[in-house]
Amino acid sequence: MLDLKTKSEYERRIKGVLITEEEIAREVKRAGAEIDKIYDGRPILLVSILKGSFVFLADICRAVSVPSEVAFMCAKSYYEGTVSSGVVKITMDLDMDISGYHVVIIEDIVDTGRTLSDIIRILSARNPLSMHVVTLLDKPSRRLVDFKADISLFTIPDRFVIGYGLDCGEYYRNLPYIAEYEE
Ligand code: IMP
Ligand code: MG
C-alpha cells in the first residue's frame, strides 16, 4: 500500500497519459487477430500472469475468436517502490495439466525479462503443445535477461508506468489508460 493520505496526492502522481484508451483498444483488436491467425481455429489456453495482466486478459480474451480457455498464475516480482529487487516468486500456480494445450501467456509488461524467462522455463517443462507470449508493454532498454515476446502491443521508454492493470504499491490498476508515474 502506498502512503497516499489525500486524493489530490493520489492524483498528483499520475504524471500524464502515455497510451490512451483508444490506442489500447486498437492494438488489442490487432493482437487478437494475430492470435487467431497463428492458431487458425485450434483451441488455446490463455494463461494470465497476475496481477498485472487481469485487465488486458479481459480485453484480449474478447478479441480472439478461436475457442479459448483462461487460466491464472500469480508471479510476484518484489518491488521497493518503483525499483525491482530481482526476486521473482510464483505465489499461485496453475491448477491444471497444460500438456495437450496450445498455451498463450498473457503478460502486462516485460521489463528486465526475469519473470517471463522463469515462467517459460517452468511451463515448458510441463510439455504444452506449443507456447507463445503476448505482452501489452515492452521496455527493451531495461532487459537483463535475453527475452523477446512473440506479440508486443507497445514498446515504451524506461519510465515507470501505471494503469490498465499495472500498479504502483497496488494502486492505479483501474485507470483505463496507461500513464507515467510521478515519483
Ligand atoms: P521483469 O521480471 O523485470 O520483466 O518485470 C516484470 C514485472 O515487473 C511486470 O510483470 C510488472 O508486474 C512489474 N513492472 C515492471 N515495470 C513496471 C512498470 O513500469 N509499472 C508497473 N509494474 C512494472
Ligand atoms: Mg506482472
Q: For the chain, which domains are there?
A: 21-159 (3.40.50.2020)
Residue with CA closest to ligand 1 atom 15:
111
Facing residues of 132 across strands? Answer: 104
Q: Which residues surround ligand 2, an ion (CB under 5 A)?
A: 52, 108
- Identify which has the larger pLDDT, 5 or 43: 43
Q: Please report the DSSP string for 112-154 in residue order.
A: SSHHHHHHHHHHHTT--SEEEEEEEEE-GGG-SS----SEEEE
Q: What is the pLDDT of residues 163-183, one digit of tens each?
A: 999 999 999 999 999 999 998
Q: What is the pLDDT of residues 28-68, one digit of tens each?
A: 999 999 999 999 999 999 999 999 999 999 999 999 999 99
The DSSP 8-state label assigned to residue 96 in this structure reads S
- pLDDT for res 86: 72
- pLDDT for res 140: 96
State yes or no: pLDDT of 5 exceeds 90. Answer: no
Q: How far is the CA of 52 from the centre of ligand 2 (A)?
A: 4
Would you please indicate which residues are annotated as catalytic (active-site) residues?
A: 111
Amino acid (1-letter code) at residue 83: V
Q: How far is the CA of 166 from the centre of ligand 2 (A)?
A: 7
- Cell 521508454 belongs to 157
Cα distance between residue 177 and residue 168, in whole Å = 14
Cα distance between residue 53 and residue 136, in whole Å = 8
- pLDDT for res 56: 98
Q: What is the pLDDT of residues 78-126, one digit of tens each?
A: 666 777 777 788 999 999 999 999 999 999 999 999 999 999 999 999 9
CA angle 56, 107, 182 (to 5 degrees): 75
- pLDDT for res 55: 98
- Nearest in space to 32 (alpha carbons), one of 51, 57, 69: 57
Question: Residues enclosing ligand 1, CB less than 6 A?
Answer: 52, 77, 84, 88, 107-115, 160-161, 166
Of the pLDDT bands very low, low, confident and very high (cuts 50, 70, 90), residue 3 is confident
- pLDDT for res 79: 66
